[in-house]
Structure 1
Amino acid sequence: MWMLYAAGSAVFAGLTAILAKVGIRHTPSNLATAIRTIVVLVFAWLVVLIVGSQNTLGSLSGPTVWFLVLSGLATGASWLCYFRALQLADVNQVAPVDKSSIVLTVLFAIVLLGETEDLTTRLTGIAVIGIGTYLMIERGGGAGNVSTQGRGWLLYALGSAVFAALTTILGKVGIADVESNLGTAIRTGVVLVMAWVVALVTGEHRGMRQTPRRDLLFIVLSGVATGASWLCYFRALQDGPASVVVPIDKTSIVLTVAFAWVFLGERLTRRSALGLGLIVTGTLLMLL
């Protein structure tokens, strides 16, 4: 069953990137992150109330809460970097770098969580994924976004990947003794505080009233997709090994690239297509 949850996470994650890209065209990225986090938080706590897991809130241990908070901080940092990168570059450029967090995640899972089964296969898989990611990083600006400037977006995308990997490991430890939906809701609360602090510090909150309705609609929809992806993802993490759940989730890059082509007109070069093929191959290698 956890594999179905992991697959659901991938589908909703693929939708998130496209919806967010459209929503931040005329809206500052930090403000957009803060707005969509409200949506995710409402979504997460609604599910908690439906399943009744709020009754276990008082039984959470101190270490569990701390790991959830740290996981939330890592998630917030990853989101802020990711949406800033999306604002500067094509989805097809940012998504592969962000999904390269799988390499760090698997390494962290091996070293910190002791997930050493089929070690040779997993190391081979992340090596192939790393090569594929490099091929996609090295391409020039995409056809769908003429505003890509320099390599600034790459630093943000790499930051997103690093923090995403930390999120998974911290989340895996933090949800060991907590119902997955409740853990997701708590982490989202941390992200909300962090996102609005950044929006206030940067002054982007002043643009709230000037946010176009179309942008706001897509930001909200991306929040809903994120909430659904998260709930599936951490439910899968609770039952399955992180080094397998994460590769399934990261196959969302295929959907992301397909959606970017259909809805945003972003096309892959031959080099990028080869890189994408290697990423998928490496992922399937670890799954099989």
Structure 2
Amino acid sequence: MWIVFALLAAVVSATVVTLSKAGIKNVPPSLAFAIQAVLIILVSWGTVLWQGLLPEIGKIDRKSWVFLLAAGVLTAASSLLSFRALSLGDASRVSPLTNTALIFSVLLAAFFLKEKLTWQVLLGAGLMVAGAILIATTKPASKKESSSKNGRPASGTTIYESKPTA
């Protein structure tokens, strides 16, 4: 069942990247992240309340608090960096690079959590690195110019010259 949840998380994450890129066109990346963060807080604490887990807070040990708080700070930093990258680059090129986090996760899990690495995991991680590098270093496709429909200019364009011609 974990595979289903992991794949659903991947689909949702990909959708988030696409929506975030569309949303930050006219919004500073830090502000866009702050707006999303408020919603994350509301949804996550709403889930805790709905599941009746609020009393469990008192049962969390000090070591777990340290790990969870550190992970929270790093999650915020990661999101801020991702939003900045998205504001500067194409989502189709930024996302593969940010998803090299998968490779770092494999390495950190092996080192800190003592998880065993098989040749299949190492090969898969290597292929992911190669794919991310290939996508990120490929020249982006040129964007098409705005086209007109029914003889009218596309939305956001003007039909008048800024300088009068005489």
- TM category (shorter chain) comes to 0.7 to 0.9
Map of 2:100 onto structure 1: 100
Change (3 A) 1:18 1:5: same
Residue 142 of structure 1 deviates from its aligned partner by: 4.0
Map of 1:120 onto structure 2: 119
Taking the aligned partners of 1:129 and 1:145, their CA distance within structure 2 comes to 30
Tell me which of the two structures has the higher relative contact order, counting C-alpha pairs closer than 8 angstroms and 6 or more residues apart.
1
Residue 62 of structure 1 deviates from its aligned partner by: 0.6
Residue 141 of structure 1 deviates from its aligned partner by: 3.3
Q: TM-score, normalization: structure 2?
A: 0.82
Map of 2:130 onto structure 1: 131
Is the CA contact (8 Å cut-off) linking 1:93 and 1:142 kept in structure 2? no
Taking the aligned partners of 2:144 and 2:106, their CA distance within structure 1 comes to 32
Residue 144 of structure 1 deviates from its aligned partner by: 4.7
Map of 1:23 onto structure 2: 23
User: What residue identity is the alignment partner of 1:41?
Assistant: I
Taking the aligned partners of 1:145 and 1:131, their CA distance within structure 2 comes to 29
Q: How big is each residue's C-alpha offset from its partner over 1:36-64, in whole Å with a ceiling of 9 and x where there is no partner?
A: 10001101111111111111011111111
Pairing of 1:56-205 with structure 2 (within 5 A): 56-116=56-116, 119-144=118-143
Taking the aligned partners of 1:145 and 1:100, their CA distance within structure 2 comes to 29
Between the two proteins, what is the percent identity of the paired residues? 30
What count of residue pairs does the alignment treat as equivalent? 145
Taking the aligned partners of 1:26 and 1:145, their CA distance within structure 2 comes to 20
Q: How big is each residue's C-alpha offset from its partner over 1:56-99, in whole Å with a ceiling of 9 and x where there is no partner?
A: 01111111111000000110110001011111111111001011
Map of 1:194 onto structure 2: none
Q: How big is each residue's C-alpha offset from its partner over 1:130-173, in whole Å with a ceiling of 9 and x where there is no partner?
A: 11111111112343599xxxxxxxxxxxxxxxxxxxxxxxxxxx
Where structure 2 has 5 or more consecutive residues not aligned to the other structure, the ranges are: 146-166
Change (3 A) 1:137 1:99: same
Q: Which runs of 4+ in 1 moved over 4 A?
A: none
**What is the SS of the residue equivalent to 2:140?**
coil
Instruction: Give the helix-richer structure, 1 or 2.
Output: 1
Taking the aligned partners of 1:90 and 1:145, their CA distance within structure 2 comes to 14
Map of 1:8 onto structure 2: 8
Residue 19 of structure 1 deviates from its aligned partner by: 0.7
**What is the SS of the residue equivalent to 2:72?**
helix
Change (3 A) 1:142 1:76: farther
Change (3 A) 1:122 1:59: same
Q: How big is each residue's C-alpha offset from its partner over 1:7-42, in whole Å with a ceiling of 9 and x where there is no partner?
A: 221121111011111110000000111111000110
1:33 aligns with 2:33: yes
Q: How big is each residue's C-alpha offset from its partner over 1:225-263, in whole Å with a ceiling of 9 and x where there is no partner?
A: xxxxxxxxxxxxxxxxxxxxxxxxxxxxxxxxxxxxxxx
Q: TM-score, normalization: structure 1?
A: 0.48
Where structure 1 has 5 or more consecutive residues not aligned to the other structure, the ranges are: 147-288
Residue 128 of structure 1 deviates from its aligned partner by: 1.2
